[in-house]
Amino acid sequence: MTTNKSVLAWIEEMKNLLNPDKVVWIDGSEEQLEALRKEACETGEMIKLNEEKLPGCYLHRTRENDVARVEDRTFICCRDEKDAGPTNNWKNPQEAYQMLFDIARGSYKGRTMYVIPYSMGPVGSPLAKIGYEVTDSIYVVLNMSIMTRVGTAVEEVLGDSEDWIKGLHAMCDVDPEKRYICHFPEDNYIISVNSAYGGNVLLGKKCFALRIASYLGKCEDWMAEHMLILGIENPQGEIKYVTAAFPSACGKTNLAMLIPPESYRNKGYKVWCVGDDIAWMRKGPDGRLWAINPENGFFGVAPGTNEKSNPNALASTKKGTIFTNVALNLDDNTVWWEGLDKNPPEHAIDWKGNPWNGKESTEKGAHPNSRFTAPAKNCPCISSEFNSTSGVPVSAIIFGGRRATTTPLVYQSRDWNNGVFVGSIMASETTAAATGAVGVLRHDPMAMKPFCGYHMGDYFGHWIEMGKILGDKAPKIFNVNWFRLDEDGKFMWPGFGDNFRVLEWIIKRCEGKADAVETPIGYLPRPEDINLEGLDMDMETLKKILTVDNEKWTAETKEIEEYYKIFGDKLPAELRAELEGLKERLAK
């Protein structure tokens, strides 16, 4: 237990508010965590799985009304409503505190209050930040102990400092009508009530690592981004690192754990995963941008994860993992989800806790947003720099979306500000099945729309400022699109491991070893500079997915202009200038 006066005063405040029967400080020891696992199994909160096939693994089910992040119940509570911006829900901080404390008051009666000291990032790293979460859920304690660095070592590093983030989680009645996930960026405070689903209650994840941290980054000249971090090793043993941001359903986790094509592996190329979801980046002593993954585990979507789509992610779940809302196979006490394999169990319990026969039932065995919480150290391709306190130097930043037409396979921005423009216009197209109309754009700038803790116009401005801070040592910025379709509606690019061929060109551009063709939107590879060795693709198809259609891009500029209006006078002048520049180049 800490001697930090600011922490102890807050814990006392929480005890008086929540009225727990007892208080347990989480020290991070295996003995304490094992006792909590045992207790959770005794109460039915978790189910222990087959120790031989899935050692140290458990299954948990949430309530049916509590299965995903709730954007409409997520709020930024800053003093001035204008500072929350058009992409966030806002509440007045004083009113929010009053409402939340009233909901949480006395809700720990008959329960235990767990106090979790945790570090986002390697303990002691100058790029890391510390938080405390109080919770009445063992499930939260055990997940936080996988997703973050937890325990007494964190408290030792914090010492007497008041620089830490408060996090209150109260399950209450798990009532969706009184469910709120609120962030107070000016106060370093997060409060989550009436949920027990990971994305809403593991307060180190999106709440701290993105919404609060993005605001801290703006104030302290660093960046908290919804990005994977990837190391690419060449046959000489040199490793270059890239970060990449993608909206959901665009293959982010698959890219984070990519396995290069066989022809590359035979030559000695390797890929190393530093992080699959979040990057914190800061200017290092050498002037370059350095990144850490603030997390210690993966909180991945289970359905669709299999031996073919992402063998490294699947391997990560084989021990010490908590599965949430997947099916329980009664024949061998293991788990199953849609897309794992083609053999659904006949004797199973579905995610709702009902008997389920996967061969006959029309109901899904696992919830579409079912999850695995797996230790990052389990990943076969985890980087040796994963726990580095200094992080890794970033050579390139990649943006991407799902576009059937318009956007080519890959292009490089003209410079940093143009790269910020490219990130700000990130969007994915909907499909006919989902919306009744093909090509409806959903904008998700920098893949941060649900996670930016302040006005997105100011966020763009912060990116522009970071370019000035980094100067000529700033990473190069690229955009990729794995999802171009041909006339028959089929994907033109194979994706998955073959995306390595595009990464190779990106790295060569960073090293000054590859040519490019200048176009109105940026620099594109010459078709002959993308290696097609071992790939069943002809040069004509590659040329098609590397074309820039001026007519389509001219229409795109009109759409961007309309979209930019939501940011009002907060849109940086530099981005307006980039849009005008693009229009002029297209007109020529």
Domain stops at, among 326, 352, 378: 378
**Pairwise CA distance, residues 274 & 257, whole Å:** 9
- Residue 361, phi then psi, degrees to nearest 5: -75, 145
**From the candidates 78, 182, 250, 273, which is the catalytic residue?**
250
- Which CATH number goes with the domain that contains 390? 3.90.228.20
Name the amino acid, one letter, at 530: I
Q: Cα–Cα distance between 405 and 390 in angstroms, integer? A: 40
Convert the pLDDT of each residue in 170-179 to its tens digit: 999 999 999 9
> Could you tell me the pLDDT band of residue 433, with boundaries at 50, 70 and 90?
very low
pLDDT at 94 over 80: yes
Could you tell me if residue 564 is inside a domain? yes
Q: 59 in a domain, yes or no?
A: no
Instruction: Give the separation between CA 500 and CA 67, rounded to whole angstroms.
Output: 34
CATH of the domain at 318: 2.170.8.10
CB contact set of 370 (below 8 Å; sequence gap of 6+)? 301, 302, 303, 323, 324, 325, 326, 337, 351
Q: Which helix (H) or strand (E) holds 312?
A: helix 311-316
320 or 436, higher pLDDT: 320
Residue 8 has φ and ψ, to the nearest 5°, of -60, -35
**Pair (337, 255) in one structural domain:** no
Residue 533 scores a pLDDT above 70: yes
- Residue 475, SS3 per DSSP: coil
- Residue that finishes a domain, picked among 220, 244, 277: 220
The domain in which residue 352 lies consists of: 297-378
Query: What pLDDT sits at residue 556?
Result: 96
pLDDT reading at 215 higher than 80: yes
Residues 348 and 390 in one domain: no
At 439 the pLDDT is 64
**Structural contact between residues 118 and 152, judged by C-beta atoms closer than 8 angstroms:** no
CA distance 283 to 176: 42
| 55 lies in some domain | no
pLDDT for the residue numbered 435:
39
Helices 573-587 and 416-424, packing angle to 10 deg: 90
pLDDT digit string (tens) for 353-374? 999 999 999 999 999 999 999 9
Closest CA to 563 of 386, 445, 410: 445
- Which amino acid is located at 86 in the chain? P
Residue 379 appears among annotated catalytic residues: no
pLDDT at residue 71 tops 80: yes
Q: Is 49 a domain residue?
A: no
Looking up residue 189, the CATH number of its domain turns out to be 3.40.449.10
> How many Cα atoms occupy the beta-carbon half-sphere of 427 within 13 Å?
18
Q: Is 506 among the domain residues?
A: yes
Q: Is 63 within the bounds of a domain? A: no
Q: Is residue 257 part of a domain?
A: yes
279, 549 in Cβ contact below 8 A?
A: no
What percent of the chain is predicted at pLDDT more than 90? 96
Cα separation, 367 vs 363, whole angstroms: 10
Flag whether pLDDT at 543 surpasses 60: yes
Q: What is the mean pLDDT of the chain?
A: 96
336 and 357 share a domain? Answer: yes
Contact between 27 and 157 (Cβ < 8 Å): no
What pLDDT does residue 127 have? Answer: 95
pLDDT of res. 250:
83
Statement to judge: residues 445 and 351 lie in one domain? no
pLDDT at residue 436 is higher than 90? no
Q: If 0-12 CB within 10 Å is exposed, 13-18 middle and 19+ buried, where does residue 70 land?
A: middle
* Contacts for 557-560: CB closer than 8 Å, 24+ residues apart: 557/582, 557/583, 557/586, 559/441, 560/425
Q: How far apart are CA 112 and CA 135, in angstroms?
A: 8
Whole-number pLDDT of residue 440: 77
Does 258 lie in the same domain as 129?
A: no
The answer to whether the CB of 362 falls within 8 A of the CB of 104 is no
The confidence score (pLDDT) of residue 437 equals 59
Is residue 52 in a domain? no
- pLDDT tens digit sequence for 489-514: 999 999 999 999 999 999 999 999 99
CA dist., res. 103 & res. 171, Å (int):
10
Mean pLDDT of the 312-328 span = 98
Please name the residue ranges forming H helices in 389-533. 416-424, 432-435, 456-470, 500-511
pLDDT at residue 438 greater than cutoff 60: no
Cβ atoms of 384 and 272 closer than 8 Å: yes
For residues 113 and 20, membership in a common domain is answered with yes
Number of domains in the chain: 3
Query: At residue 434, does pLDDT exceed 50?
Result: no
Encoding tokens for residue 105? 């008051």
Q: Distance between CA atoms of 185 and 433, rounded to whole angstroms?
A: 39
Q: Model-level pTM?
A: 0.97
Which residue from 323, 334, 329, 267 is spatially nearest to 300, judged by alpha carbons? 323
Q: Are residues 170 and 22 in the same domain?
A: yes
| Alpha carbons 480 and 525: distance in angstroms, whole number | 12
Tell me the average pLDDT across 153-174: 98
Phi-psi region of 98 (alpha: psi -120 to 50; beta: other; left: phi over 0): alpha
Half-sphere exposure of 168 (CA within 13 A, CB side): 28
Give the span between the Cα atoms of 207 and 24, in whole angstroms: 23
Please give the pLDDT value at position 366.
98
Query: What's residue 333's pLDDT?
Result: 98
Q: What is the pLDDT of residues 232-278, one digit of tens each?
A: 999 999 999 999 999 877 889 999 999 999 999 999 999 999 999 99
Q: Which of 378, 393, 423 is the last residue in one of the domains?
A: 378
The stretch 67-76 carries a mean pLDDT of 95
Residue 147: is its pLDDT beyond 50? yes
Among 30, 33, 29, CA closest to 152: 29
Burial group, residue 397, by CB count within 10 angstroms (0-12, 13-18, 19+): buried
Pairing outcome for strands 410-412 and 322-324 = unpaired
Same domain flag for 457 and 529: yes
Q: How large a percentage of the chain has pLDDT more than 70?
A: 98
Q: Are residues 128 and 271 in the same domain?
A: no
Cα 397-403-409 angle, rounded to 5 deg: 55
User: What's the whole-number mean pLDDT along residues 519-525?
Assistant: 98
Same domain, yes or no: 304 and 406: no
- Which residues partner with 289 through β-bridges? 283
* Residue 334, pLDDT above cutoff 70: yes
154 and 11 together in one domain: yes
The reply to whether 582 and 446 lie within a common domain is yes
Return d(Cα 406, Cα 427) in angstroms, integer: 12
